[in-house]
């Protein structure tokens, strides 16, 4: 991974930044926080006559590439929806395979991410995942906690409604009065309250749903949908989503 450079001098741009600029992206107006709903792994595999779990493995390869591209492009925050609470409704063999894949990916990629100054975070009810996966996530968070580059958050056993419920429960346990439960107070009790809200939400595989992902934080996020399934997602799709983001006027509920 090449360190991002200021957009003022084209001669110092890395390959990813150069491709983005050539496609019409302004490096001075990048979204600060990009969130991605990684959808279509199973469909990608099924359409090729392959087991669904192979689709998830191919999706892992896409994620490796996207993290590198996000870093090289100069994004500050990247959050991906890796495992939902609803995932437990999948067939047992697929569910178990997903868990093992996420754990392996977390451990395998940790050294590279740490070397490249990436800070690893997690969001979700991490205490409810299997012990070995929880330990892998905690190791990644601890190892990279002092890094200052891209903040990469893996949403695991995550649900947006559950996050809000957990925040309210925390406020109640602190003895908050009804008057004290404000938007600011609730937001301060979300899983990663120090991370800014996403500016851009990308969803793959052509689906137009939010699917319970960062539903509080993404209230004013711009949505970009691509027909490409997650195993097919590449830099060109990221660039296109950012171009859509930069073409819109964000009003945040105003006129």
Which residues belong to the active site? 39, 56, 150
User: Would you say 147 and 111 are in contact if contact means Cβ atoms under 8 Å apart?
Assistant: no
Phi, psi of 82 (to 5 degrees): -95, -40
Residue carrying structure tokens 């892998």 = 136
Say how many C-beta atoms besides its own lie within 10 A of residue 30's C-beta.
Answer: 22
Contacts for 47 with CB less than 8 Å, ≥ 6 apart: none
Torsion, Cα of 194, 27, 231, 90 (10° steps): 20
Taking a C-beta distance cutoff of 8 angstroms, is the pair 227, 40 a contact? Answer: no
For 79, phi then psi, to 5°, come to -125, 130
């Amino acid at each position: 991974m090449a360190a991002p450079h200021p957009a003022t001098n084209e001669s110092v741009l890395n390959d990813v930044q150069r491709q983005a600029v050539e496609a019409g992206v302004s490096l001075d107006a990048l979204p600060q926080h990009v969130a991605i709903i990684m959808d279509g792994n199973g469909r990608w595999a099924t359409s090729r006559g392959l087991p669904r779990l192979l689709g998830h493995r191919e999706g892992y390869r896409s994620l490796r590439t996207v993290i590198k591209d996000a870093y090289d492009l100069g994004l500050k925050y990247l959050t991906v929806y890796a495992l939902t609470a609803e995932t437990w409704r999948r067939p047992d063999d697929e569910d178990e395979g997903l868990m093992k894949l996420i754990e392996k990916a977390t451990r395998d990629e940790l050294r590279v991410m740490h070397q490249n100054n990436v800070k690893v975070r997690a969001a979700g009810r991490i205490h409810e995942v299997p012990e070995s996966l929880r330990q892998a996530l905690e190791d990644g968070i601890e190892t990279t906690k002092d890094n200052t580059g891209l903040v990469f958050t893996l949403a695991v056993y995550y649900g947006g409604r559950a996050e809000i419920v957990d925040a309210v429960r925390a406020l109640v346990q602190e003895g908050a009065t009804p008057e004290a439960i404000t938007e600011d107070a609730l937001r301060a009790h979300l899983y990663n309250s120090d991370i800014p809200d996403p500016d851009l939400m990308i969803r793959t595989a052509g689906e137009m749903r939010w699917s319970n992902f960062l539903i509080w934080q993404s209230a004013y996020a711009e949505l970009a949908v691509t027909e490409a399934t997650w195993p097919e997602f590449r830099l060109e799709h990221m660039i296109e989503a950012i171009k859509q983001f930069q073409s819109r006027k964000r009003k945040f509920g105003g006129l």
